[in-house]
């Protein structure tokens, strides 16, 4: 076929070489996938808070990946096998993303309010763009930079406008902030590094074996936590584990890696600014947080930033 899009030097699809009627449809499909992922991942932080009401952090995180691994392995074994020469890099990827990033996020969610956690987690898209520019040599236009900045300011308004500041301060600890910062850096680099490895070794194999490596680091820690204090398994806690394991980890990871392989990081990351908005809205419904004028203004800034980043042509 002569109308198939080609890859640009940065790894994204070069739509200028595709047939005229295909780029619009493909961009619309890609944007829909990004919005779906923002919703799926946006629900993860308030649901993690819900899960922590009955399960301790290490146990919750380990169970999440224990649920995800069988499905990931089933998908990986049906497709491309991971060569031995890739083992060390993929294992390091898993330790970074799961053993550091996701575990740190669980501790951070437990030690911060919804507003503070939202603001810090909003650093992930910015860091993805930064790391992608450094490692993948992906350019970021001036209009896209302005869009990302506007979206980040919108997230700050969403966070500060979420609930009572006094209550938020009491719910936040210095350790919780530190855990969230560590998580943001680790997860952002994990995403960008994943793109490099999946291009070389395939999405299924890298996703599955990196998750296994991360889980092997978590398992002894979770076992020690489980042995130290009895854990009460509730229907609510198990439902959260299933959502985090199957929807956020398996479906979300595959969707995100495919998005990053087919779109510049600046575009993919911009849509992820909707993730905290979905999360804060759900937290308001679940925990009674108040959403006011600042929340509405923040949402407007995020949507404006998305338009600048996604709809604007590259400079």
pLDDT confidence of residue 290: 60
**Which region, left, alpha or beta, applies to residue 137 given φ > 0 means left and ψ of -120 to 50 means alpha?**
left
Helix (H) or strand (E) holding 306: helix 293-306
Express each pLDDT in 35-86 by its tens digit. 888 888 888 878 888 898 889 999 999 999 999 999 999 888 877 678 888 8
Instruction: Give whichever of 248-252, 269-273, 308-312 has the largest mean pLDDT.
Output: 248-252
Instruction: Check: CB of residue 136 under 8 Å from CB of residue 260.
Output: no
b/e code 169-181 from CB counts within 10 Å (16+ = b): eebbeeebbbbbe
pLDDT confidence of residue 3: 44
Strands (E) located in the chain: 6-7, 13-14
Higher pLDDT, 229 or 295: 229
Given a cut of 90, whether residue 140 has pLDDT beyond it is no
DSSP string, 10-24: TSSEEGGGS-TTHHH
Q: Give the model's confidence band at 14: pLDDT under 50 very low, under 70 low, under 90 confident, else very high.
A: very low
pTM, full prediction:
0.72
Average pLDDT, the chain: 78
pLDDT confidence of residue 2: 40
pLDDT confidence of residue 199: 85
pLDDT cut 90: percent of the chain above it: 22
Q: How many residues does the chain have?
A: 315
> How far is the C-alpha of 50 from the C-alpha of 81, rounded, in Å?
37
pLDDT confidence of residue 19: 42
Phi, psi of 98 (to 5 degrees): -95, -55
DSSP string, 49-116: HHHTTTS-HHHHHHHHHHHHHHHHHHHHHTSPPPPGGGHHHHHHHHIIIIIIIIHHHHHHHHHS-HHH
Express each pLDDT in 214-244 by its tens digit. 999 999 999 999 888 778 889 999 999 999 9
pLDDT confidence of residue 89: 93
Instruction: Check: CB of residue 160 under 8 Å from CB of residue 117.
Output: no
The least confident of 16-20, 167-171, 274-278, 279-283 is: 16-20
Given a cut of 50, whether residue 151 has pLDDT beyond it is yes
Q: What is the mean pLDDT of residues 138-166?
A: 70
The least confident of 34-43, 96-105, 137-146, 202-211 is: 137-146
Higher pLDDT, 97 or 13: 97
Given a cut of 70, whether residue 311 has pLDDT beyond it is no
Written as six digits, the tokens of 285 are 């419904």
> How far is the C-alpha of 170 from the C-alpha of 230, rounded, in Å?
28
Given a cut of 70, whether residue 158 has pLDDT beyond it is no
Residues forming a β-bridge with 291:
162
> How far is the C-alpha of 199 from the C-alpha of 257, rounded, in Å?
10
């Amino acid at each position: 076929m002569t109308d198939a899009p080609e890859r640009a030097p940065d790894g994204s699809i070069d739509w200028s070489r595709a047939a005229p009627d295909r780029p619009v449809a493909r961009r619309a499909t890609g944007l829909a996938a990004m919005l779906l992922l923002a919703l799926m991942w946006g629900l993860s932080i308030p649901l993690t808070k819900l899960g922590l009401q009955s399960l301790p952090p290490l146990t919750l995180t380990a169970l999440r990946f224990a649920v995800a691994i069988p499905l990931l392995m089933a998908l990986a074994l049906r497709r491309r096998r991971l060569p031995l020469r890739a083992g060390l890099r993929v294992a390091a990827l898993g330790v970074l993303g799961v053993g550091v990033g996701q575990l740190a996020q669980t501790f951070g969610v437990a030690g911060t309010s919804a507003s503070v956690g939202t603001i810090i987690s909003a650093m992930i898209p910015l860091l993805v763009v930064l790391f992608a520019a450094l490692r993948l040599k992906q350019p970021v236009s001036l209009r896209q930079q302005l869009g990302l900045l506007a979206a980040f300011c919108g997230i700050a308004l969403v966070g500060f406008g979420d609930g009572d500041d006094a209550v938020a301060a009491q719910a936040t600890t210095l350790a919780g902030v530190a855990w969230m910062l560590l998580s943001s850096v680790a997860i952002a680099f994990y995403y960008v590094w994943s793109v490099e490895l999946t291009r070389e070794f395939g999405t299924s194999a890298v996703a599955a074996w990196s998750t296994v490596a991360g889980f092997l680091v978590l398992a002894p820690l979770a076992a020690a936590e489980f042995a130290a204090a009895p854990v009460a398994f509730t229907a609510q806690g198990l439902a959260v584990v299933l959502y985090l394991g199957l929807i956020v980890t398996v479906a979300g990871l595959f969707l995100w890696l495919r998005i990053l392989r087919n779109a510049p990081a600046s575009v993919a990351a911009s849509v992820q600014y909707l993730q905290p908005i979905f999360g804060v809205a759900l937290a308001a419904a679940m925990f009674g947080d108040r959403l006011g004028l600042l929340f509405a203004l923040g949402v407007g800034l995020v949507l404006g930033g998305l338009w600048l980043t996604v709809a604007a042509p590259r400079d």
